[in-house]
């Protein structure tokens, strides 16, 4: 995977491969033509100032990266002729991140960083101490798309509709660990828990749950503690802000058993994105 990346990176950095990279819902095959949406057309034609013949990379989360060329450009629209595949689709860790929404900038930050760090699914969740009452999942999905475009990721994480914690728990798959940073410092170290889970022979995947700035309520902690798929984890002696904890746990997961390793140990938790 690292080698794939290296090749792709070199290609993108070379002059032949365009800097503009966009996500599309369209199928990508040689000879296809894709119509960028109005925002994308504006970006290509007026922000990047590209014209007919200029290259643009497209990805759709299942067909890999494709080189396309601008055709029929006018002031407001253009068409992208799909030329050749630059990178095949690769599998990605199936890691979920549930989080209590924070103030706007810090929520946006979680979405951007979690996308860069390879989270497969983002689940905003309302808790007793969550101050935010509304979450625009569509706006968050837009941030995820932009981050995926920029970081050369071949898929875009799904942003689920925000639900109450009780609903999240009710619908949480029994075959997926739910790892909850314990801000009282009582949980075993993250690295120990991940090693333990990585060594079990069960086929469980995993997700993290990050509480709000005010922490979980006693009732919430009680409810979480009773679930067989919940594991508390410790993140050291300092009290991390929610968004710091979110990034930290995802980074560590990728480094320890995710796609930052040369041979991911948590294979059972992997999904192949193609045609999902």
Nearer to a second copy by Cβ, of 244 and 268: the residue is 244
Q: How far is the CB of 45 from a second copy (least distance, A)?
A: 24
259 binds a second copy (CB under 8 A): yes
Q: Is 185 in the site for a second copy (CB under 8 A)?
A: yes
Least Å from the CB of residue 169 to a second copy: 24
The shares of helix, strand and coil residues in the chain, as percent rounded to the nearest 5, are 35, 25, 45
231 binds a second copy (CB under 8 A): no
Q: Residue 253 corresponds to which tokens in the numbers above?
A: 């997961």
Decide if 127 contacts 100 (C-beta within 8 A): yes
Q: For a second copy, what does the binding mask look like between residues 64 and 93, x meaning CB under 8 A? A: --------------------------x---
The structure tokens 């990176």 sit at 9
Binding flag, residue 260, a second copy (CB under 8 A): yes
When the beta carbons of 41 and 120 are compared against a second copy, the nearer one is 120
Query: How far is 182 from 9, CA to CA, in rounded Å?
Result: 38
| Binding segment toward a second copy, per CB under 8 A, in 25-33, 56-64, 73-81, 110-118 | 110-118
Please report whether residue 272 would count as binding a second copy according to CB under 8 A.
no
Residue 134 is encoded by which pair of tokens? 């509304």
The one among 248, 268, 271, 274 contacting a second copy by CB under 8 A: 248
> Is residue 234 at the binding interface for a second copy, with CB under 8 A as the rule?
yes
Q: Is 261 in the site for a second copy (CB under 8 A)?
A: yes
By CB under 8 A, tell whether 11 contacts a second copy: no
Distance CA 112, CA 56 (A): 22
Count of residues near a second copy by CB under 8 A: 49
CB of 237 to a second copy, least distance (A): 4
Q: Which of 190, 197, 210, 224 binds a second copy (CB under 8 A)?
A: 190
Number of neighbouring beta carbons within 10 Å of residue 63: 23
**158 touches a second copy by CB under 8 A:** no
Q: Does 43 bind a second copy (CB under 8 A)?
A: no
Q: Which is nearer to a second copy, 251 or 268 (CB)?
A: 251
Query: Can residue 110 be called a binding residue for a second copy (CB under 8 A)?
Result: no
Positions in the binding site for a second copy (CB under 8 A) = 1-6, 9-10, 90, 109, 113, 116-118, 150-153, 183-186, 188-192, 234-241, 244, 247-249, 251-252, 254-256, 258-262
């Amino acid at each position: 995977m690292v080698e794939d990346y290296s090749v792709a990176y070199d290609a993108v950095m070379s002059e032949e491969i365009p800097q503009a990279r966009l996500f599309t819902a369209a199928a990508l095959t040689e000879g296809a033509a894709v119509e960028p949406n109005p925002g994308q057309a504006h970006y290509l034609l007026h922000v990047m100032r590209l014209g007919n013949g200029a290259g643009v990379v497209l990805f759709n989360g299942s067909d890999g990266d494709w080189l396309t060329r601008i055709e029929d450009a006018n002031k407001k629209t253009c068409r992208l002729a799909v030329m050749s595949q630059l990178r095949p689709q690769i599998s990605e860790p199936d890691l979920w991140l549930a989080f209590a929404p924070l103030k706007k900038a810090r929520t946006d930050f979680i979405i951007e960083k979690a996308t860069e760090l390879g989270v497969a699914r983002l689940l905003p969740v309302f808790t007793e101490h969550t101050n935010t009452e509304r979450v625009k999942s569509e706006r968050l999905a837009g941030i995820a798309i932009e981050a995926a475009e920029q970081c050369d990721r071949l898929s875009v994480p799904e942003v689920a509709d925000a639900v109450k914690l009780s609903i999240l728990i009710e619908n949480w798959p029994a075959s997926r660990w739910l790892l909850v940073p314990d801000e009282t410092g009582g949980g075993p170290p993250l690295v120990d828990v991940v090693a333990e889970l990585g060594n079990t022979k069960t086929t469980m995947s995993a997700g993290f749950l990050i509480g709000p700035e005010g922490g979980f309520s006693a009732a919430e902690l009680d409810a979480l503690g009773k679930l067989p798929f919940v594991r508390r984890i410790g993140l050291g002696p300092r009290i991390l802000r929610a968004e710091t904890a979110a990034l930290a746990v995802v980074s560590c997961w990728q480094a320890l058993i995710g796609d930052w390793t040369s041979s991911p140990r948590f294979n059972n938790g992997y999904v192949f994105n193609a045609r999902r």
